[in-house]
Amino acid sequence: MKWSRGRRTRRKSTGGKTILAGFPFFEDWGRDTMIALPGICIFTGQYEIARQILRTFAVNERDGLMPNLFPEGGREPMYNTADAALLFINCVYLYYEASKDAVFVREMYPVMERIMKCYKNGTDFGIRMDEDGLIQAGEGLAQVTWMDVRVGDILPTPRHGKPVEINAYWYNALRIMERFYELLHSKDPGYGVLAGKVKAVFCDKFWLEEKGCLKDLVSGTPADVQIRCNQIWAVSLPFTMLDRDKEKRVVETVFEKLYTPYGLRTLDMGDAQFHPFYGGPMLERDMAYHQGTVWAFPLGAHYLAYLKVHDLDIKAAETVRSQLEVLESAMREGCIGQLPEIYGLNPVSSKGCFAQAWSVGELLRAYEKLERLQGGAQ
């Protein structure tokens, strides 16, 4: 299968390489870049481009946050994202694991330390560590997770509180910083202890035994118990909090309730707020955007999680490979050699951007894992 490996280009304002989030609508977005970069750059061996992109974001870190959007025309970056900074740390870790370049880790370490300090003490948009060790985010009309649509004063998918994937990223970042501190210094200054606390609290507050999955939020609202695809990252990241039985149940629930061959639904079809169709005027599209619409990029995390909970065995790899064959037709529709942003209720033809960087990057990661398994590497 041949891929066009995302859309890497040179940004005039920074003089460095960047990743465009999606053609034809989106520029370079921090969150999208940090999700797309591992598959597009790191796992394809393009380490120099990965370093350029990460350095661009590092010098633009402000108050522990990474830019959500780099606008052109001399305007200042926008920082309304709770996940980009934590995913930046994940990217540095994945880069190090692939390259063993400790010099670059040392260069990035002060930025990563500032991120962790600001998340602990609190920064903009209500992003801060609560007394229980979990991260809460969002305030007012500020939507700071990837489900970030706002229509005037309407938040179609309000996720203020403690989002499941943000806290999965937080724990992952704590364990990474623990490892990096040992690599560069000697004794961990407390990241490991805090990670242990976060793990215990997360498993207590997020697990829904009756549904066999994780809450989408801890907020005290009905949105907490909606079945959404965000929980899959609590299984697929390098460092995770659940025991193996619970991880398997999450993967099974996501498959049963949200899986399609072209992506994961953003909301269980049985939910009263499920929107079956994405189309029509912008208001109607925005109201459906994260309320059931199928997104391609979470499918990569789903496949990585599936392989993990099945101990990377040959049968699981064969299952994933057979399911991925569907994407061959997907790459001949919309934009040749690319994967799109979204699909509707019945994923036949793509919608939104016809070439989406994180869709390509995340599915490349799944293919890379399969190739490593086939070659005998873990």
Domains present along the chain, CATH in parentheses: 8-374 (1.50.10.10)
| Structure confidence at residue 4 (pLDDT) | 38
Hey, what are 101's tokens?
């370049």
Pairing of strands 342-343, 350-351: antiparallel
Q: What percent of the chain has pLDDT over 70?
A: 90
Q: CA-CA distance, 48 to 42, in Å (whole number)?
A: 9
What is the pLDDT of the chain when averaged over all its residues?
90
Residue range 271-293: average pLDDT?
Answer: 90
Hey, what are 99's tokens?
């390259």
| Structure confidence at residue 76 (pLDDT) | 84
Q: CA-CA distance, 81 to 98, in Å (whole number)?
A: 27
The strand ranges marked E within the chain are 8-10, 17-19, 22-23, 128-129, 135-136, 162-163, 207-208, 213-214, 217-218, 259-260, 263-265, 294-295, 342-343, 350-351, 355-356
pLDDT tier at 2, thresholds 50, 70, 90: very low
pLDDT tier at 373, thresholds 50, 70, 90: confident
